[in-house]
Amino acid sequence: MKKPDVTGDERDAGPGSEGAASRPDPAETAVGAGGLPLELSEGAVKRLEEELAEVRDRYVRLAAEYDNFRKRIAKERVELGDRAQAALVIKLLEVLDDLDRVERGSTLNENDVVQQALVLIERKLRKELEAAGLERLDPVGAPFDPSVHEAVSVVPAHDGAQDHTVSATFQAGYRFKGSLIRPARVQVFSNEGHV
């Protein structure tokens, strides 16, 4: 029987081996089925734990950033709605002032249907605006507060207790949802002649 011809490289590898050059060194990473690298178990576990901790940290940070973004957008949406409502209310203040003048300027006559209708309309409009967050400021008798009142005139006080208090309101002020949208224009008692 004749032996098959074998090249020099195949002779060095010996029977059943793929060659000394392709044999993995136990200290190096081996390649398993499907071409995925296999590592020593202790090193692999430590490396994977570090990667998992890093991925968890990124996930927690991303979730927190998204939650903050969601809350900020919701808050901005509410603020934008409030600003739009306040802008509408500011435009309606002149109408409320006109209705106040109509009510103050004439005596209520039961036979005057137009006047009665205007009073009812004014009450209904004011009720709806108050339900939406409008607050009327009529500070007669209250201490003068320059952050919410605008002094347009000063009168001498009759006694010391009246000093720096509001004697009359020329134009009512308004707050909308806690924010001042128009100061009350008032007359102030003052012994010094100025506020």
| Integer Cα distance of 136 and 176 in angstroms | 9
pLDDT band at 24 (very low <50, low <70, confident <90, very high): very low
Helix (H, G, I), strand (E, B), or coil: what is residue 153? strand
Whether 9 shows a pLDDT value over 60: the answer reads no
CA distances from 184 to 129, 131, 140 (A): 18, 21, 10
The pLDDT of residue 76 is 96
User: By the 8 A CB rule, do 144 and 164 touch?
Assistant: yes
**Non-local CB neighbours of 160 within 8 Å, separated by 6+ positions:** 191
Strand partners, 38: 30
**What's the mean pLDDT in 86-106?**
85
The pLDDT of residue 42 is 83
The sign one gets for the Cα dihedral 81, 150, 146, 164 is: negative
Higher per-residue pLDDT: 7 or 181: 181
Query: Beta 134-137 vs 37-38: how paired, if at all?
Result: unpaired
pLDDT band at 61 (very low <50, low <70, confident <90, very high): very high
| Integer Cα distance of 123 and 117 in angstroms | 10
The pLDDT of residue 30 is 55
Q: Which two tokens stand for residue 147?
A: 């952050």
User: By the 8 A CB rule, do 184 and 172 touch?
Assistant: yes
| Integer Cα distance of 139 and 32 in angstroms | 86
What does the buried/exposed string (b/e) look like for 147-161 if buried means 16 or more CB atoms within 10 Å of the residue's CB? ebbebeebeebeeee
Instruction: State if pTM tops 0.85.
Output: no
Q: Which two tokens stand for residue 175?
A: 């707050």
Tell me, which fold does domain 134-195 have in CATH? Nucleotide Exchange Factor Grpe; Chain A, domain 2 (2.30.22)
| Integer Cα distance of 181 and 165 in angstroms | 22
The pLDDT of residue 32 is 58
**Stretch among 18-22, 68-72, 125-129 having the lowest mean pLDDT:** 18-22
pLDDT band at 64 (very low <50, low <70, confident <90, very high): very high
**Stretch among 82-91, 106-115, 129-138 having the lowest mean pLDDT:** 106-115
Helix (H, G, I), strand (E, B), or coil: what is residue 132? helix
